[in-house]
Chain A
Amino acid sequence: MESMDEILDLDELQEGILDDTLKDFMVKDEQAAKLLKEKIDELNNEGEKLSQKEEEIKSLEESNREKISSNASPDELIEIAGKLKEAESELSKITDNIKKLESEREELIETKNNIEKSKQEYIKNLNSTNSDYDEQMKKISEAIEVCDNPTLKQVLNDVKLAKEKELAVLQEKRNSELKTVLNDVKKQPDFSKLDQDMLNDKIDINSNNEINKDTVQNNNDKVILDVVNNYPILDDAEEKVDIPANDSSDLINLGSILSNVEIKETNDSIEKPSLNNISVDDLVLPDVNISDYNNQNKVKIIFEKNVPNALLKEIFTSSRIMPVLYDYLDNKGGSLI
């Protein structure tokens, strides 16, 4: 099976993956860093509030002690105690908020570290010298598994799907290009390997086939080897080869002819000699034509019977018949029945 390395331009593909994926990593890293900074700032603000409350409480406690030492009235003591209790309550809230902010800060730091870790792992995987596309996708999947941030994980999944589509497009394009290249390869016949027997099979010198001029094609004085009729067809009468009758081995200077031979790839372009069907109606019987006799004055012989010798002798010795007979035979003209 053909490896991905042979199909894909990995450098180009890897470069694209690095750009898109790392950009996502950087964006998420910046987002995490911004959130972390905001949490830290908020935490710092809460810390300042906490300090202020602690100072306020400290001040209330000191005021409370002064009131007690100066024999203040119970109402004044109750009022101070109320303020102190309120300050402590606020202080408790601030403390809780600080704890929450610190927790969130820790989470943000951890997320940021995870992003950085995933990015570094991803870069490390992509820069691996023997990584192919499948491996890259595997690493992306691993990066997705490592990533805890749902948004970042969705981004990585989208990147993975986009790369899979890109792979399909690239592979289809490469296959199409490969197919085109393969189709463009023309296998030229090596005439030097043709043996004489093969040539004799192709060129039937002793056959009575006549060269069909209809199949002659003017193609830059090339000789067309008509594989249907098994004879070479020359398009120029001056280039016709004088073919001896009995010695096929020396019939043709193969080097000079085959250098100009063009073998047709398909039979579609070969014009075959036409064969006209013989119509029986077109046949004309030679010599005897009975219809001609029908137009002549013919007389049917009913029967024949032998002539008695005595009668024959009388005829051939008759002084009356024989002169007429000789007269007829000496005349040039004929007579009608």
Chain B
Amino acid sequence: MSSNKQILKLENNREYFKLQEINHGGINYFLIMNVDNESDIKIVKKILIDDEDYIIDIEDEKLLTELKSKFKSMVDEDKEIFK
């Protein structure tokens, strides 16, 4: 069982399931899904500013495609675990 599965409470009062987390190039990326809207799924980058954690969108399509591929493999693994 992966221990990185968490619910993120954001400053805009939205909550997301953090389904996966990977470190790529020294930067952490999250695969998140809106708790209230299951169709709202995205990959975001986690940054640290003044000891505060923030998430931002990924504008680099190439990077995003690469991350999706990695996250898909991880989801496949977890899917098998929870069968």
Contact = CB atoms under 8 A, between A and B. Distances in A.
B65 to A, nearest CB: 6
Contact of B56 (A299, A302, A329): A299
A337 interface: yes
B41 A335 contact: yes
Given A306-B3, A316-B82, 8 more contacts: A293-B47, A299-B56, A300-B52, A307-B7, A312-B1, A324-B39, A329-B75, A333-B61
A307 B56 contact: no
Given A329-B71, A330-B72, A335-B41, A300 B58 contact: no
Contact of B8 (A304, A313, A329, A333): A304
Contact of A336 (B42, B49, B52): B42
Interface in B1-44: 1, 3, 5-12, 17-19, 33, 38-44
10 contacts: A299-B11, A300-B10, A300-B11, A302-B11, A304-B9, A307-B6, A313-B82, A316-B79, A321-B33, A335-B40
A193 interface: no
A302 B10 CA distance: 5
A328 to B, nearest CB: 4
Nearest to A301: B53
A334 B61 contact: yes
B49 A324 contact: no
A290 interface: yes
A324 B75 contact: no
A322 interface: yes
A186 interface: no
Contact of B64 (A300, A325, A334): A334
B25 to A, nearest CB: 10
A330 B52 CA distance: 32
Contact of A297 (B56, B61, B83): B56
Interface of A: 290, 293, 296-307, 309, 312-313, 315-318, 320-322, 324-326, 328-337
Interface of B: 1, 3, 5-12, 17-19, 33, 38-44, 46-47, 49, 52-58, 61, 64-65, 68-69, 71-72, 75, 78-79, 81-83
Contact of A298 (B17, B54, B78): B54
A332 B69 CA distance: 10
A336 B61 contact: no
A297 B19 CA distance: 21
A307 B7 CA distance: 6
The 5 closest A-B pairs by CB, nearest first: A316-B82, A300-B11, A329-B72, A301-B53, A302-B9
B61 A332 contact: yes
A257 B7 CA distance: 78
Contacts of A304: 6-9, 18
B6 A306 contact: yes
A64 B11 CA distance: 178
A337 B44 contact: yes
Contacts of A326: 72, 75
Contact of A309 (B1, B18, B46): B1
Contacts of A316: 75, 78-79, 81-82
B22 to A, nearest CB: 13
Contact of A325 (B5, B33, B61): B33
Contacts of B79: 316-317, 322
Contact of B17 (A315, A317, A333): A315
Contacts of B64: 333-334
Contacts of B55: 298-299, 301, 337
A299 B41 contact: no
- Of the listed residues B49, B52, B82, the one surrounded by the most CB atoms of chain A closer than 10 A to its CB is B82
Nearest to A328: B41
B32 to A, nearest CB: 9
Contacts of B40: 335
Contacts of B8: 301, 303-304
